[in-house]
Amino acid sequence: MIGDALTRRAQELAAEGAPFVVATVVRVQRPASVEPGNVGLVHADGTIEGFIGGVCAQHSVRLHSLTVIESGTPLLLRILPDGPEEVAREEGLVTIRNPCLSGGAIEVFLEPVLPAPRVLVVGDSPIVAALRALGPGVGLKIVAAQDITDGVLAPTAEDLALVVAAHGNDEVATLRAGLEAGVRYVGLVASRKRGAAVIDELRADGVVEELLDALDTPAGLDIGARTPSEVALSIVARIVEVRRSGSEPAAAGTAVTAVDPVCGMTVVVGADTPALESAGGTVYFCCAGCRRKFEERREPARSDG
């Protein structure tokens, strides 16, 4: 079970909007240093808080936690000392061989906790009010200028969507900022005629055609919407469609990986990862034992020289 300290830490991370994985040991085959119910929190940079096994198991948990953060999909990770040479994948399950395990096996459930994707809304209208009401119900964080201390929305590539329903108030500058920032969905609430006029303004303002092609106006799916709530529903549906059309954006700070030349394990490179400098560059290892074996292999070659 997750302890009080880790529970509080998980709540802090969620409040900060930091992506992480709750890694729970669900099955153990002896001998193993971990117990069923042990829990760890895995950050987007591979840092682990809590205990989910020895150093070699930690590398496997780190590596697959990063993929879980990117995909947003829970995963059962089965780590076996005599597992397949190649990673075996089934729906919701990955089985790997970990030669460093001391004869035992563990299964760890990896559950991602991801911040709700941010959807920026601009304007003060019944449609915006309806978006603010509908968005949280489908896992979206709706943010308007009035929600920000300085009242200025600054779109970034990490934002899922920008919806402008400002009825002509500074639309061009806001839309340009969203398009050039790489926001995945940028929509303008407007009639087709006014939408075309705004596109002409953006073009005259120097926005390239490739970006203009990405602007959705009238915003939302064509469902015959008439009321503000229906229009908001069509926009939310379009945003969900965009979100689910690809994987979640990779978390900032995603760790670098390397292959241990001794045991063949893929390890996450961090400040505490065992390493050696060689003629081909830095070599990383899953543990100090593999580093020693690598050094021992090099010694005869040095003596012969």
Strands 281-284 and 118-122: unpaired
Give the mean model confidence (pLDDT) for residues 211-225: 95
Report whether pLDDT(284) > 90. Answer: no
Total domain count for the chain?
A: 2
Verify that 105 and 132 share a domain, yes or no. Answer: no
* 28 and 127 both lie in a single domain: no
Q: Is residue 297 part of a domain?
A: no
Backbone angles phi, psi at 164, to 5 degrees: -105, 115
Residue 16 lies in a domain: yes
Q: Is residue 229 part of a domain?
A: yes
Does 236 lie in the same domain as 123?
Answer: yes
- Are 109 and 125 part of one and the same domain? no
Q: Are residues 203 and 221 in the same domain?
A: yes
Is 285 part of a structural domain of the chain? no
In a domain, 280, yes or no: no
Supply the CATH number for residue 161's domain: 3.40.50.720
Sole residue written with tokens 């596109």: 199
Domain boundary among 209, 244, 279: 244
Residue 275 lies in a domain: no
Q: Lowest mean pLDDT of 7-16, 144-153, 188-197, name the range.
A: 144-153
The residues that bridge with 164 in the sheet, in sequence order, are: 122, 188
Same domain, 91 and 207: no
Kindly tell me if the per-residue pLDDT of 251 is higher than 50: no
Tracing tokens 């993929």 back to the chain, one arrives at 67
Q: What is the mean pLDDT of residues 111-127?
A: 92
Distant-in-sequence contacts of 166-172, Cβ < 8 A, 24+ apart:
166/122, 166/123, 167/123, 167/125, 168/194, 169/123, 171/122, 171/198, 172/198, 172/201, 172/202, 172/205
**pLDDT tens, position by position, 15-50:** 888 999 999 999 998 777 789 999 999 998 888 999
Cα separations (Å) of 185 from 18, 104, 207, 228, 278? 22, 48, 16, 20, 46
C-alpha distances (whole Å) from 90 to each of 76, 94, 144, 201, 265 are 10, 6, 41, 50, 20
Task: Tell me, yes or no, whether 76 and 153 share the same domain.
Answer: no
* pLDDT above 50 (res 253): no
Whether residue 17 sits in one domain with residue 65:
yes
Q: For residue 138, what pLDDT is reported?
A: 94
Q: Using the 3D structure, point to which of 88, 113, 138 is the last residue of a domain.
A: 113
| Residue 184 vs residue 103, higher pLDDT | 184
Say yes or no: 99 and 137 in one domain. Answer: no
Same domain, residue pair 90 and 129? no
Residue 269 lies in a domain: no
Hey, what are 192's tokens? 């087709």
Domain end among 73, 90, 113: 113
Is there a domain that residue 220 lies in? yes
Q: Kindly indicate the confidence band of residue 54, based on its pLDDT and cuts at 50, 70 and 90.
A: confident
State whether 131 and 107 are in the same domain.
no
Query: Tell me: the pLDDT tens digits for 157-183?
Result: 989 999 999 877 778 999 999 999 999
Q: 49: domain range?
A: 12-113
> What's the pLDDT score for residue 254?
53
Indicate if 145 and 232 belong to the same structural domain: yes
Whole-angstrom Cα distance, residue 214 to residue 227? 25
Read off the tokens for 301: 């070659």
| % of the chain with per-residue pLDDT over 70 | 91
> What's the mean per-residue pLDDT of the chain?
86
pLDDT confidence band for 3 (50 / 70 / 90): confident
Which contacts of 153-158 are long-range, i.e. CB under 8 A and separated by 24 or more positions? 153/120, 153/122, 155/120, 155/181, 155/183, 156/181, 156/182, 156/183, 157/181, 157/182, 157/183, 157/249, 158/118, 158/249, 158/252
